[in-house]
Structure 1
Amino acid sequence: MRIDTHHHHKKASDNLAFVFLLNLTFNIIVIIGGLATNSMAILADCIHDMSDTFSMAIAWILEHVAQKGATDKFSYGYQRFSILGAVITSTFVIVMAFFILSEAIPRLFSPEGVDAEGMLIIGIIGLVFKTISVWRLHGGETFNEKAIFYHLLGDIFEWVAILILSVILIFWQDISYLDPFVSIAIAVWLIFNLGRTLYKSLEVLLQKTPDNFDVEEFKQQILEIDGVNALDDFHIWSLDGIDSVMTVKVDVDFGKNVENIKKEIYDISNKYHVVDITIELD
């Protein structure tokens, strides 16, 4: 049984398209601003923002594709493409973060002057753009929207840090080493968080049992259904880190109402966000 998960994707696609185009415009502004102000902190955050924009593009495309049904070539649909996108994005950002570290660490020992006033202006623009994006995605119903929403919320805190740094440098130019220090902090944060995302994405691709899915608890709930004797050949894996697929062989008492037994299994599975269920009755 396949549970419909395609509703609300049209609205989500429109929201993600808006946020993607807004952030793409912002990326261009930040690249120019980072080079003009000679700020490694801004350039480091620009790498992060580029990964966000790439992620938004993937999310937008996938939300659009999600409106289509499964095909003969992709019988489970296109949800798994989001995990492939996460692997590509995470790898790209980690490599770029190491590049930022290679540029920023030497600057700790020989700091270069930065245009603090220019950083302040870029910081304000960054907060405005990110706040608009968060506002547009606030209340989104799909997991893609929620994932991007929380990612952008984190970006707001980063731009607040750059804004504070620029104000400090306006009054104390002799501590310009703070600029590469902030860029190193951002790069390390990216490597840690995107490294964790990459690890989790690879787990999904290797069909690991979904996180927060208690197999023993799930089986116990199924076994408590009147008429279920035993479970065998149980398999559960995730399509995209959110929606899961399950196959199970159930030994039932055929003297009971088999249709009611199947319905109860579907109801329990739905609570665990299992969207595709195959049940074989013995």
Structure 2
Amino acid sequence: MASARSRPHAHDLSPWQHGHQFDAGNRSGEARTRWVLALTLVTMLAEIGAGWWTGSMALLADGWHMGTHALALAVAALAYWLARRHAHDARFAFGTWKIEVLGSFASAVVLAVVALGIAAESVLRLWRSEPIAVEAALAVAVIGLAVNLVSAWLLHGAEHGGHEHPHDGHDHDHDHDHGHHDLNLRAAYVHVLTDALTSVLAIGALAGAWWLGWWWLDPMVGVLGAVVIAVWAVGLMRDSSAVLLDREMDHPLARRIREDLESDGDAKVADLHLWRVGRDQFAAIACLVADAPLAPSAYRERLQRHRQLAHVSLEVNRCPRSPDEIRGSGAG
């Protein structure tokens, strides 16, 4: 007779099993990013050609800056596609959303390189002034600004395109930082905004050169634009790298999880790990120690109000008795 130990497991495991596609994606953001990419490519070619013909550093900077943004927008679109394509791939333990965050970080790096390039070329132009065909450069810069504004309009409002919050009376922890909703879309939006900024600065510089004869204003504007772009790049790099490195323990949700798990006054959280697996979804691992430990399901119920928790793993341990307690029980 086969022993009970050798019998195959007959229990249904499905209640404890689930998929790991925690984020539904942002199909609206993906579609609009592709539209903005097409607009950016067309305008980039026009501005680079016009900047070379007119000799305007501000216009060339705007054109090449737009070119690098086209690359970054292509990375954003690719990240959306890859995350969606591999969403059900079990090899990604906690889903594919961070592919989009990786795209955001890559875009931030591109922004930083653009800032350095514009600053270097603008400084060189301060020492060797070159003639500028102001009227033609102004016309193209205005067209570039119009395209940037249209692109910003397309991306604006797509933040929650594939992402909805349920409203059922539960605590949704809405005091979290909304900058993480869609970092990939935010990266695309920042690239469009920097394009608009360089277009505005180029128009101002060319107008100053045309009406006031301040030819030095053109490269000076290039330096100013580079500084602003660098600041935006650092901010985007900081936010995306924090998600990639799972720096989430300073999030208010970590404190609330600890408070709820310890609400009975007996259980203590010995170890807690919290990390983001979607725009507003988190996974958590907690180790509990209690004198009278309950079943893991009892502690899991205490976390039901936190709808942001898409995946929770709990380890429950009985608190070991101290040597004095052991000796006391033996003496009795």
TM-score tier by shorter-chain length is 0.7 to 0.9
Say which structure is richer in helix. 1
- CA shift, 1:27, in A, is 1.6
Gap change, CA 1:104 and 1:155, over 3 Å in 2: closer
Gap change, CA 1:228 and 1:48, over 3 Å in 2: farther
Question: Aligned partners of 1:189, 1:85: CA distance in 2, in Å?
Answer: 21
- CA shift, 1:45, in A, is 2.8
Gap change, CA 1:223 and 1:99, over 3 Å in 2: same
Gap change, CA 1:46 and 1:243, over 3 Å in 2: farther
- CA shift, 1:13, in A, is 2.1
Q: Secondary structure, in 3 states, of the residue corresponding to 1:231?
A: strand
Deviations 1:136-164 (A, max 9, x none): 22221152435533543454343222222
Give the equivalent residue in structure 2 for 1:169.
Answer: 209
TM normalised by structure 1 equals 0.80
Give the equivalent residue in structure 1 for 2:143.
Answer: 125
Give the equivalent residue in structure 2 for 1:136.
Answer: 154
TM normalised by structure 2 equals 0.69
Match of 2:192 among 138, 141, 152: 152
**How is 1:20-35 mapped onto 2 (pairs within 5 angstroms)?**
20-35=37-52
Whether the 8 Å CA contact 1:37–1:116 is kept in 2: the answer is yes
- CA shift, 1:180, in A, is 0.4
Aligned residues: 275
Question: Aligned partners of 1:266, 1:184: CA distance in 2, in Å?
Answer: 52
Gap change, CA 1:227 and 1:49, over 3 Å in 2: farther
- CA shift, 1:182, in A, is 0.6
Gap change, CA 1:123 and 1:243, over 3 Å in 2: farther
Note the residue ranges of structure 2 that are not aligned, 5 or more in a row: 1-17, 162-181, 318-332
Question: Aligned partners of 2:234, 2:91: CA distance in 1, in Å?
Answer: 31
Deviations 1:9-53 (A, max 9, x none): 333322221111111222222221221222222222334323432
Gap change, CA 1:226 and 1:161, over 3 Å in 2: same
Question: Aligned partners of 1:244, 1:32: CA distance in 2, in Å?
Answer: 47
Letter in 2 for 1:280: E
Give the equivalent residue in structure 2 for 1:279.
Answer: 314
Q: Secondary structure, in 3 states, of the residue corresponding to 2:146?
A: helix
Gap change, CA 1:240 and 1:220, over 3 Å in 2: closer
Whether the 8 Å CA contact 2:205–2:218 is kept in 1: the answer is yes
Give the equivalent residue in structure 2 for 1:89.
Answer: 107
Whether the 8 Å CA contact 2:208–2:217 is kept in 1: the answer is no
Give the equivalent residue in structure 1 for 2:164.
Answer: none
Match of 1:236 among 257, 274, 278: 274
Letter in 2 for 1:50: G
Note the residue ranges of structure 1 that are not aligned, 5 or more in a row: none
Whether the 8 Å CA contact 1:83–1:240 is kept in 2: the answer is no
Letter in 1 for 2:39: L
- CA shift, 1:226, in A, is 5.0
**How is 1:259-274 mapped onto 2 (pairs within 5 angstroms)?**
259=297, 261-268=299-306, 270=308, 274=309
